[in-house]
Amino acid sequence: MAFGALHFFWALGGEFGLDVSSGERLASERPAWFVAAGLWGVGFLCLIGALVALGLRKRGVRGRTWRALRLLGLAICLLLLVRGLLVEVLLIAGVPAVGGIRAAQRFWTLTVWNPWFVLGGVLFGLATRSFGKGMADQWRTGDPSAAPTTTPGSDSTEISSPSGRAVIASGHDHDQ
């Protein structure tokens, strides 16, 4: 949400930090394609990412919504990781295509912007993994409120439902 708000600030004419984020030329000229795609577009993508992040926190989601959230979470994870790591590697390696940026822009990109992309990618990956595991447990038992309990010294899990029925699952059943 913070990065989305920052892009909307820039799209509405704000200047603070834009030159070190996008470069002096784009910040001063503000071509229409840059404002539309690079500022408004990225701002809306950030808001969509925030909504997906909120969706990954929900429990009890099933069917198409579950698959869509899981797919979007994975896609955002990969996008952020690839973008963040690729730009870091290119800047550190001094690739000529990205080497023409100012020292201040390079510094801010390496130390401020890209670490957030990488951290965001890792967090989206963890959230997506947790979301997928939680839903798989609910689907296996057929009860979204079931809480698994393990008996000490046993490889089986008893899952109690509000109806009072218990389902016993062997630890070997989960390996399939």
CA atoms within 13 A on the CB side of 89: 7
Q: Please write the tens of the pLDDT for every residue from 6-60.
A: 999 999 999 998 888 787 888 888 999 999 998 999 999 999 999 998 888 877 7
pLDDT score at 134: 59
29 versus 168: the higher-pLDDT residue is: 29
**Least reliable range by pLDDT among 38-42, 54-58, 89-93, 97-101:** 97-101
CA 135 to chain centre: 18
Phi, psi of 150 (to 5 degrees): -110, 135
Residue 159 confidence class, pLDDT cut points 50, 70, 90: very low
